Amino acid sequence: MNTASQVALRILQVTDSHLYASQQGQLLGINTQDSLKAVLVAFSQLQQEVDLMLVTGDISQDGTPESYQRFIDSTASFKIPQRWIAGNHDEYALMQQLYKNSPCLNRSFVAENWQVLMLNSNVPGKVYGVLTDDELNYLKQQLDNSAAKYTMVCLHHHTLPVGCQWLDNIGLRNADKFNQLIDQYDQVKLVLCGHIHQELDRNDFHTRYLGSPSTCIQFAKHSDEFKLDSLAPGFRLINLMQNGDVVTSIHRADQFSFQIDETAAGY
pLDDT of 139 reads 98
pLDDT at 241 over 60: yes
Residue predicted with more confidence, 205 or 228: 228
Confidence tier at 5 by pLDDT (50, 70, 90): low
| 3-state SS string for 210-233 | EECCCCCCEECCCCCCCCEECCCC
Q: Provide the pLDDT for residue 261.
A: 81
The predicted structure's pLDDT at residue 133: 98
153-176 pLDDT, tens digit per residue, is 999 999 999 999 999 999 999 999
pTM as predicted? 0.95
Residue 94 has pLDDT above 80, yes or no: yes
Query: Which residues have a Cβ under 8 Å from the Cβ of 3 and sit 6 or more positions away?
Result: none
Per-residue model confidence (pLDDT) at position 262: 77
pLDDT at res. 168: 97
- SS3 letters across 98-144: HHCCCHHHCCEEEECCEEEEECCCCCCCCCCECCCHHHHHHHHHHHH
Indicate if the pLDDT at residue 260 is higher than 90: no
Domains in the chain, start-ordered, CATH in brackets?
A: 8-252 (3.60.21.10)
181 in helix, strand or coil? helix
User: Chain-wide mean pLDDT for the chain?
Assistant: 95
Identify the pLDDT of residue 245.
95
Rounded Cα gap, residues 210 and 118, in angstroms: 15
